[in-house]
Chains A and B, each alone.
Chain A
Amino acid sequence: MRKLIPSTPIITILPALALIPVLTDVLIGVHNGGGNILFEFFSASLHPSLEQTVILSAWKGLQITIATALLSWVISTFGGMILGVISSNTFWQIFESSQWKAILIRRILAIPRSIHELIWGLLLLQVFGIGPWIAIIAICIPYSSLVARVISDQIDSLDHGRLIALKHSGASPFASITTALLPPMIPVINSYGSYRLECALRGATMLGVFGMGGIGTEMQLTFQSLEFTEMWTSLWMLGGVMLILEKILSWWRKAPSSPNRSERQLLISIGVMLTSVLISLIWLQALDINLATNFNWHPIGLPTIADIKNSFHELSWIDLISNTLLMTLLSAGIAIGIPPLGMILWPTKLGGAIQSSIWLLLRLIPPPLSALLLLLCTNPSISVAALALGLQNLGIMGRLLKEGVSHQSKDLYTAIHSSGSGKRLAWLYGHLSLQSKSYLAYAAYRTDVILRETAVVGVVGGVGLGWQLQESLSSFDWAQVALVTTAYSTLTLIGETISEKARQYWLNSAKGPPSLFFQNQF
């Protein structure tokens, strides 16, 4: 028997096989009950409600979401930059201090990073009750440490020759940082920072679905009352904003960077961020959202060691962890494998345009809503949760794949197509083969994100740590909450380490520099 040696382009599409067991399971559970409702949902997309009250309500929700996203983006980016600098080894080298401080800060920052913003949101809700800052803080906590990680990694990977030269010439530590570290970091800050804004918008929408205000709450309420035409008003409005944002950010990332231009870009970025803060604050104030509201501390009874021990034995850890991992793998398979497969099967301009529209739609609908939508016509299962989560991430992966391909040379595609290959084969060999390693490196990172996001959909399938966490939160069982959160955190940190190794493997094995476009999405 011949030995299989799959090459990287085929490895990008093999994960799509995950769709087979997921679809089989979903189809087995299909019931007719929700068929009509599902039809109503999709047909409502063609005639969203244009009533003034509906539009005004959706617009208000959208403004809250945008303002929440902007505020949390600016705070987490600035916070992350400061934390990134002080968690880098280089920073402590400048001060001629021991590097254990950097290691300690990085270890501490790993904890907030490992817990999804939804979990932070739900925990904060329990402790402080509903308030305008909850969603913002919930996003800021993990995002700041995510930005910090990227910044500290980048700083430590810089060539330190310039820094040493400055130090020897007697420059102050502050001057050394601004002169030697800041300029090479500007393209990273610009590109990665802009990517986080998209994440913040999606995060703010998703938190809304769980009652934390904004367009997500509007969608959830209209969905629950089966007012699909009203829900589509919100969806289309959100879609418009996301599309505009994506276009602006894509243009921003494509802008050529030279040292002079980078500095100008940084100044513009800082200007945009400060303006964003001002606009958001004024916006929220105008929407009668009082940001000066005091935090109401609702004391929670801290669990004793005995409580924790009891809870530890009550929970079926093997099931919880294995289901979480299974959900992650199935979702990741769908998200990673389907976009390249779709582009191979339908590589024409029309096909590309239709697939891009579908990807946009999938990015728009928060996974909990798509899961509820699926539940209209099928039974709850791990597959429903995996499919819902996979679909939104598929939308993200698809857009990145398409942008990655648009950034690369068309020479190979042209060569293969002109030698008599059809468009499908030319796309597979001429486009995907060039992009596959960068794509797989990004896929490794995305899998890590999906593992965190299982918290969002676990409740739908009634499985996994996410489901258990919601159950424990609902019953105010703080011992279980502490245990499940710790387990989640540990699992995602292990996942992060594995994904980092996989990412480095793919990036290092790529000939030539990896696609900067993909690199800056991590």
Chain B
Amino acid sequence: MRKLLDLKGIYVRGNGDEYRLRNIHLSINSGERIALLGQSGAGKSTLLEVANGSLQPHSGHIKWRGIHLKHLTPKQRQRIATLWQDLRLIEELTVVQNINVGALGQHNLLWAFRNLLGTIESKECLPYIEAAGLEQKNISTPVQKLSGGQRQRVAIARLLRQQAELLLADEPLSSLDPTLAGEVLELFLNKKAIQSIGIPETCMISLHRPDLISNFTRVIGLKQGQIAFDCPVHNLLPFDINMLYIDE
């Protein structure tokens, strides 16, 4: 297994003196499917933001395949895809235009303008639309007119369009009905047989539901900004999980 992402000695300070993350050391290897557990405010979202490079830690370093995250080229940065908890879709744009945002890193400014003009062929997006379970009739609809579940699917299609190697997802199942949550998890864990597009083999997904961790290979528990445990799923004890959700 090859080391993809390496975080060493990460500290992220909050508003006051307290730390949102403290002394985080972890590596993500290719093929790993990591579940990230912890109470609200434990630091899961912060850890994902640090891992994708959108938040600079106050100390420590993050490397992608041995290269410092700050020094990655746009093409290399594209290898890390994130599904944000608030989805971060562009409300004014249509479904296809939003999905194409995932491919911005692969194209130039002219292509980006063409996407905004609506002249990019939608067929390029069709495999992702299909994989995310979106209906084709909606592709020209502005996302602000879609329901919550459909918006989630658009965000997933955009993420797949990025053709990344590592998938980071922040509470992707929290607002979904059980059927859709199951579908999304299957997709992210590469259990769906989709030939036409590549699904990242490696992922780190933050969850609120410990009952789902059996689908993963590794579990990281965060408590008060620190790693409480980091082990293969089969080594995890119910006690560890209980400790994570008990207030001290």
Residues of B within 8 A of A10 (CB): 113, 116-117
Residues of A within 8 A of B109 (CB): 344, 424-425, 428
Inter-chain CA distance A428–B88, complex, in Å, is: 15
Q: What's the nearest-Cβ distance from chain A to residue B4, in Å?
A: 15
Inter-chain CA distance A234–B205, complex, in Å, is: 61
**Beta-carbon contact of A419 and B86 below 8 Å:** no
Residues of B within 8 A of A411 (CB): 84, 86, 88
Inter-chain CA distance A436–B77, complex, in Å, is: 27
User: Within B48-90, which residues are at the interface with A (CB < 8 Å)?
Assistant: 52-54, 74-82, 84, 86, 88, 90
Residues of B within 8 A of A5 (CB): 94, 117-118, 140
- CB of A8 within 8 Å of the partner chain: yes
Nearest-CB residue, chain B, relative to A419: B162
- CB of B91 within 8 Å of the partner chain: yes
**Beta-carbon contact of B92 and A436 below 8 Å:** yes
- CB of A437 within 8 Å of the partner chain: yes
- CB of B112 within 8 Å of the partner chain: yes
Residues of A within 8 A of B180 (CB): none
- CB of B93 within 8 Å of the partner chain: yes
- Do most interface residues of chain A lie in helix, strand or loop, or is the interface mixed? helix
- CB of A311 within 8 Å of the partner chain: no
Query: Interface 1/0s, chain A 421-448, versus B by CB < 8 A?
Result: 1101100110001101100000000000
Q: Which of B81, B116, B117 is A419 in contact with, Cβ under 8 Å?
A: B81
Inter-chain CA distance A5–B82, complex, in Å, is: 28
**Beta-carbon contact of B144 and A2 below 8 Å:** no
Inter-chain CA distance A8–B90, complex, in Å, is: 11
Q: Which of A3, A422, A436, A511 is B144 in contact with, Cβ under 8 Å?
A: A511
- CB of B38 within 8 Å of the partner chain: no
Given A5-B117, A10-B116, A421-B74, are A416 and B104 also a contact pair (CB < 8 Å)? yes
Q: What's the nearest-Cβ distance from chain B to residue A91, in Å?
A: 37
Given A9-B116, A429-B101, are A420 and B74 also a contact pair (CB < 8 Å)? yes
Inter-chain CA distance A344–B79, complex, in Å, is: 24
Most buried by B among A3, A4, A9, A415: A415
Contacts across chains A and B counted by CB atoms under 8 Å: 95
Inter-chain CA distance A428–B92, complex, in Å, is: 13
Inter-chain CA distance A9–B54, complex, in Å, is: 23
Number of interface residues of A (CB under 8 A): 30
Q: Which of B84, B93, B105, B116 is A415 in contact with, Cβ under 8 Å?
A: B84
Q: Which of B52, B75, B92 is A7 in contact with, Cβ under 8 Å?
A: B92
**Beta-carbon contact of B112 and A425 below 8 Å:** yes
Nearest-CB residue, chain A, relative to B89: A412
**Beta-carbon contact of B77 and A420 below 8 Å:** yes
Residues of A within 8 A of B80 (CB): 418-420
Nearest-CB residue, chain B, relative to A7: B116
Nearest-CB residue, chain A, relative to B161: A419
Most buried by B among A4, A9, A421: A421
Residues of A within 8 A of B52 (CB): 418-419
- CB of A253 within 8 Å of the partner chain: no
**Beta-carbon contact of B117 and A6 below 8 Å:** yes
Q: Which of A2, A424, A434 is B118 in contact with, Cβ under 8 Å?
A: A2
- CB of B119 within 8 Å of the partner chain: yes
**Beta-carbon contact of A6 and B118 below 8 Å:** yes
Nearest-CB residue, chain A, relative to B51: A418
- CB of A414 within 8 Å of the partner chain: yes
User: Within B18-64, which residues are at the interface with A (CB < 8 Å)?
Assistant: 52-54
**Beta-carbon contact of B105 and A429 below 8 Å:** no
Nearest-CB residue, chain A, relative to B113: A10
Query: Interface 1/0s, chain A 175-196, versus B by CB < 8 A?
Result: 0000000000000000000000
Tell me the B residues contacting A by CB distance below 8 Å: 52-54, 74-82, 84, 86, 88, 90-94, 97, 101-102, 104-106, 109, 112-113, 116-119, 140, 144, 162
Since A411-B86, A422-B74 are in contact, a sample of 11 more A-B pairs with Cβ atoms closer than 8 Å, ordered by chain A residue number, is A5-B118, A7-B117, A10-B117, A415-B54, A416-B104, A418-B54, A419-B80, A419-B102, A419-B105, A429-B112, A433-B90
Query: What would 29 A/B residue contacts be, using CB atoms closer than 8 Å?
Result: A4-B117, A7-B92, A7-B94, A10-B113, A10-B116, A10-B117, A411-B86, A412-B88, A415-B84, A417-B54, A418-B54, A418-B77, A419-B78, A419-B82, A419-B102, A419-B162, A420-B74, A420-B75, A420-B76, A420-B80, A420-B104, A420-B105, A421-B105, A422-B105, A428-B109, A429-B101, A433-B92, A436-B92, A511-B91
